[in-house]
Structure 1
Amino acid sequence: MRPVAADSFDIAAHVRAGDRVIFGQASAEPLTLTRALVARKAEIGPFSVFLGACYSDCFAPENAEGIAISAYGAVGIAAKLAKAGRLDVLPWHYSALNRAYAEGTLKADVVLLQLSVDPRTGRYGLGFSNDYAVLAARHARTVIAEVNPAAPWTHNADLPADIVPDVLVEAACPPLDIPQPPIDETSMAIARHVVGMIPDGATLQFGVGSLPEAVMASLSGHRDLGIHSGSMGDRLVDLVECGAVTNAHKSLDAGRSVAGVLLGTKRLHDFVHDNKDFSLRPAAHTHGQDVLARQRGFIAVNSAIEVDLTGQVNAEVANGRYVGAVGGQVDFVRGANAAEGGRAIIALPATARGGTVSRIVANVTNVTTPRSDVDAIVTEYGVAALRGCTLVERAQRLIAVAAPSFREELSRRLYEQNRGTHG
């Protein structure tokens, strides 16, 4: 089947009123198709869209009027939708989300994919994201694929042979670039504590945002690190080029960096293109507990909105509004805890709103990662190692890494809680 020209493709002939539509995340979003979908929404009639990490403006509140939008979190443009009261969140672990689409428990009527092309054989590949979209394609009524010659050919991410698109469309634009988020001084101060916990030869996972970026930017002096992560951006290139990442000591996928979704610019796209030292793997591999537990020295680095005095982590809700996601945090925390020599690090600034609000709190408003799973909490004031600690010991260690101006109040709250517990 030859791709048809974008200007001759009518998406309204394939999407029906009442349909549920999903598409690839981040740079895997097929912009030719999603832009056409939004442009023709009035002709199609009411339909719904499920978003992942979406960084284009296609589904910004001002463009998506009349489209019902759900997502697994307020990531990228979904944060603006949440603020506008336009987002319905599915609070699932990322591994469970992918498994549900693979099994058909969750379904989409129409799946939009972006495909790359093998430079040697002409086969189609997934390019930027080996995620739930391709799993959902197995159970969808209609699969439409945009073929983008600028998308990288990534290893271990061939389009499965049993997924045959109903229509192929030529890309009318290059893939979406996703620049690195800015890094502030507080993030760098936190990163200095985190990198002190990372030995040479460790295998690393990073969450999304300025804090994980700061940690990666601080690892240039390390050697023989490995990468096994749900997502990865341009700093992968920096770490390989400076010699920090070699993947030499990984117990699985030795010699190869592994990620499931790419969040970068052309620099990353060019680096991973036909690069045998990089694998784009599905969530069953990137987030699978059995896989992570076998990765010796696996260290997960993720961030949070707030942490309470028992160690409970909130990575989803602030001021009553969804601003984050369950995502893969619990998957990676549990995997790191199960791995030989593993560590699960949650990093966050000690304060918010210009220092007026403590992020170490007496009680969180929402629990993403339970206290029973938490290993270490890091702020700019130090590391609170919580493994094996009682509730009182945890609270004391967390107060020690809170901002100094809030420690007295937190100590008072701890005293009141204990007085209530012990009469």
Structure 2
Amino acid sequence: MASKAFLRRVPKLFKSKTEPTFLKRTFYLYTPEPFHPIPDRHPEWKRVEEAIKVIKSGDKIYIHGAAATPLRLVNSLTKHSLENKLENIEVIHIHTEGPAEFTKPAFEGIIRSNSLFIASNVRQAINEGRADCTPIFLSEIPLLFRRRIINLDVALISVSLPDEHGYCSLGTSVDCTRAAIENAKYIIALANHNMPRTFGDGLIHQSHIDAMVEEKYVPIPERPQKALSEAELEIGRLIAENLVSDGATLQMGIGTIPDAVLCQLLNHRDLGIHTEMFSDGVVDLVERGAITNAKKVVQTGKIVSSFAVGSKKLYDFMDNNPFVVMSDVSFTNSTAIISQNPKVTAINSCIMVDITGQVVSDSIGTRMYSGVGGQIDFIRGAALGLDGHGKPIIAMSSTTKKGDSKIVPFITEGSGVTTTRAHVHYVVTEFGIASLFGKTLRQRAYELIKIAHPNHKESLEKSAFERLKCMPAP
């Protein structure tokens, strides 16, 4: 049964004598909920230790992710679970910031993590069997909560301070969190003075929050841009000069290669952003006038994203800025929505590609590394662009840090295929662009070997002949 606190948050309109109240939630697209104010209901402002006391053994806990990770709440959760000898708590999240202490061996049997997208702070625990991961498209994570496949007892979230009308913002990360708070029986919010107030689907009324903890002094997690290698800069140049047109709608995955592309688009015009995430590089393009969003069909004139991670410069840019719309990930990553925009150019990176075009992005052999994320959502959305000018791009350096080729004859045993050979259109390394759409297997092998590192071309040709029983050919 749903708790009384949860039922109080449900509007009378949805109540039914014959059906449990929580089943009356409708699939969200344009009518966000919980948005409306609930008369005479206010959150209880508490110290963090008091707020966390509601968590008990066996609870399923959602943790807000990325730059919105409520670190103070998470730290208190780990302390509370140890001190009170709690058991069998499951925490559910996409990638989070911070040390993720709950994945350490000391928490075995107390807290078990379930990652819907793997970050470096949980990778070891997953590969040692002390934590779980769920393979899932980023666009479909909200369905886990809306279809009540996962039922949450508590959601730990970060919000901006309530405004004069009582509205808070999920700030930098709306993603799947909107769906999680629709599902959760009890919501604890860290009201962070440093959380930017953003527009879009992330606005929620404080009356839907059960407990709030004030955070005055600790900034939200930052992830400044890394220095770019020569190979990454060359990949960025190749994509910027050959595959990104003026008026294109851009999606960038996370990492240095998307950053390398963005920094070389300063002279482009009327670019638009419809993406699952963005970082500092977008701010520079806005300030330069390269990004206007003027040609977009969906949310014309506005940057559309579901979460953002970067430096304080990025967060200051987002704060109270109507140019940026933070949306539910089931909207941003819907192929039907993505495909409506002009010249959709989706830029994603990967771990390896085999000579037939199969792309591995989430694992290295049996070792889980990241997640499916939104790669397929946007690769497919770009390919299905209604204007016929979409460009789905997989980009990677030709070799690993150890010098091994990322273009391989066979995928390493145990690795998962994230993007199938039928989905792939363009693969880019620092040595060129391979166009694979409509190519046979031997033509694909030829195109991919052309953009491999010179040290590996001969061995790849031999392996391709052994696999295909013929020589790669244009």
1:362 correspondence with 2:409 = yes
Q: In the alignment, what sits opposite 1:146?
A: 190
SS of aligned partner of 1:336: helix
1:402 correspondence with 2:402 = no
Q: Is the 8 A contact 1:23 1:113 kept in 2?
A: yes
CA separation in 2, counterparts of 1:325 and 1:64?
Answer: 25
Residues 25, 279 of structure 1: alpha-carbon distance in 2 compared, 3 angstrom cutoff: same
TM-score by length of 1: 0.93
Q: Is the 8 A contact 1:16 1:44 kept in 2?
A: no
1:388 correspondence with 2:435 = no
Deviation at 1:270, TM superposition (A): 1.1
CA separation in 2, counterparts of 1:77 and 1:331?
Answer: 25
Q: In the alignment, what sits opposite 2:35?
A: none
Q: Which residue, 214, 225, 229 being the options, matches 1:180?
A: 225
- The residue type paired with residue 441 of structure 2 is L
Q: Is the 8 A contact 1:104 1:136 kept in 2?
A: no
- Once the two structures are superposed, residues 348-401 of structure 1 have per-residue CA deviations (whole angstroms, 9 ceiling, x without a partner) of 11111331x111011223200011111100011100011111111111101111
Q: Is the 8 A contact 2:270 2:295 kept in 1?
A: yes
- The residue type paired with residue 63 of structure 2 is F
Deviation at 1:32, TM superposition (A): 2.1
- Once the two structures are superposed, residues 157-187 of structure 1 have per-residue CA deviations (whole angstroms, 9 ceiling, x without a partner) of 3444598122122125332222223322221
Q: In the alignment, what sits opposite 2:96?
A: 54
- Once the two structures are superposed, residues 12-59 of structure 1 have per-residue CA deviations (whole angstroms, 9 ceiling, x without a partner) of x21111112112111111222112112222115121212312121243
CA separation in 2, counterparts of 1:348 and 1:410?
Answer: 17
Residues 383, 366 of structure 1: alpha-carbon distance in 2 compared, 3 angstrom cutoff: same
Q: In the alignment, what sits opposite 1:112?
A: 156
Query: Which sits farther off after the overlay, 218-227 or 204-213?
Result: 218-227
Q: Which residue, 174, 178, 181 being the options, matches 1:137?
A: 181
CA separation in 1, counterparts of 2:317 and 2:267?
Answer: 21
1:352 correspondence with 2:391 = no
Residues 198, 64 of structure 1: alpha-carbon distance in 2 compared, 3 angstrom cutoff: farther
Q: Which residue, 33, 36, 60 being the options, matches 1:20?
A: 60
CA separation in 2, counterparts of 1:269 and 1:125?
Answer: 13
Q: Which residue, 21, 29, 50 being the options, matches 2:69?
A: 29
SS of aligned partner of 1:144: strand
Q: In the alignment, what sits opposite 2:214?
A: 170
RMSD: 2.1
Q: In the alignment, what sits opposite 2:240?
A: 195
CA separation in 1, counterparts of 2:195 and 2:353?
Answer: 39
Residues 203, 98 of structure 1: alpha-carbon distance in 2 compared, 3 angstrom cutoff: same
CA separation in 1, counterparts of 2:172 and 2:182?
Answer: 19
Gaps of 5+ in 1: none
Q: Is the 8 A contact 1:15 1:44 kept in 2?
A: no
Residues 199, 44 of structure 1: alpha-carbon distance in 2 compared, 3 angstrom cutoff: farther
Query: Which sits farther off after the overlay, 261-270 or 339-348?
Result: 261-270
1:45 correspondence with 2:95 = no
Q: Is the 8 A contact 2:248 2:345 kept in 1?
A: yes
Residues 171, 329 of structure 1: alpha-carbon distance in 2 compared, 3 angstrom cutoff: same
Query: Which sits farther off after the overlay, 190-199 or 117-126?
Result: 117-126
Q: Which residue, 32, 44, 47 being the options, matches 1:6?
A: 47
Residues 312, 64 of structure 1: alpha-carbon distance in 2 compared, 3 angstrom cutoff: farther
CA separation in 2, counterparts of 1:59 and 1:50?
Answer: 14
SS of aligned partner of 1:77: helix
Q: Which residue, 90, 93, 97 being the options, matches 2:141?
A: 97
Deviation at 1:97, TM superposition (A): 1.5
1:310 correspondence with 2:351 = no
Q: In the alignment, what sits opposite 2:25?
A: none
Q: Is the 8 A contact 2:162 2:206 kept in 1?
A: no
- Percent identity, aligned pairs only, is 32
- Once the two structures are superposed, residues 399-422 of structure 1 have per-residue CA deviations (whole angstroms, 9 ceiling, x without a partner) of 11111111111111111122299x
CA separation in 2, counterparts of 1:314 and 1:267?
Answer: 33
- Equivalent residues in 2 for 1:272-311, closer than 5 Å: 272-311=318-357
Deviation at 1:83, TM superposition (A): 5.2
- The residue type paired with residue 389 of structure 1 is K
Q: Which residue, 318, 343, 347 being the options, matches 2:391?
A: 343
CA separation in 2, counterparts of 1:82 and 1:88?
Answer: 6
TM-score by length of 2: 0.84
CA separation in 1, counterparts of 2:106 and 2:375?
Answer: 29
CA separation in 1, counterparts of 2:207 and 2:173?
Answer: 16
CA separation in 2, counterparts of 1:400 and 1:23?
Answer: 44
- The residue type paired with residue 50 of structure 2 is F
SS of aligned partner of 1:352: coil
- Once the two structures are superposed, residues 39-86 of structure 1 have per-residue CA deviations (whole angstroms, 9 ceiling, x without a partner) of 222115121212312121243744873321120232242334345543
CA separation in 2, counterparts of 1:64 and 1:127?
Answer: 33
Aligned length: 419
- The residue type paired with residue 192 of structure 1 is R
SS of aligned partner of 1:366: coil
Q: Is the 8 A contact 1:102 1:132 kept in 2?
A: no
- Once the two structures are superposed, residues 82-109 of structure 1 have per-residue CA deviations (whole angstroms, 9 ceiling, x without a partner) of 4554331101111111222222222222
- Once the two structures are superposed, residues 264-297 of structure 1 have per-residue CA deviations (whole angstroms, 9 ceiling, x without a partner) of 2221111111111110011122101110111111
The structure that has the greater radius of gyration is 2
Q: In the alignment, what sits opposite 1:255?
A: 301
SS of aligned partner of 1:170: strand
Q: Is the 8 A contact 1:204 1:228 kept in 2?
A: yes
Q: Is the 8 A contact 1:38 1:63 kept in 2?
A: no
SS of aligned partner of 1:392: helix
Q: Is the 8 A contact 1:28 1:113 kept in 2?
A: yes
- The residue type paired with residue 446 of structure 2 is Q
- The residue type paired with residue 160 of structure 2 is S
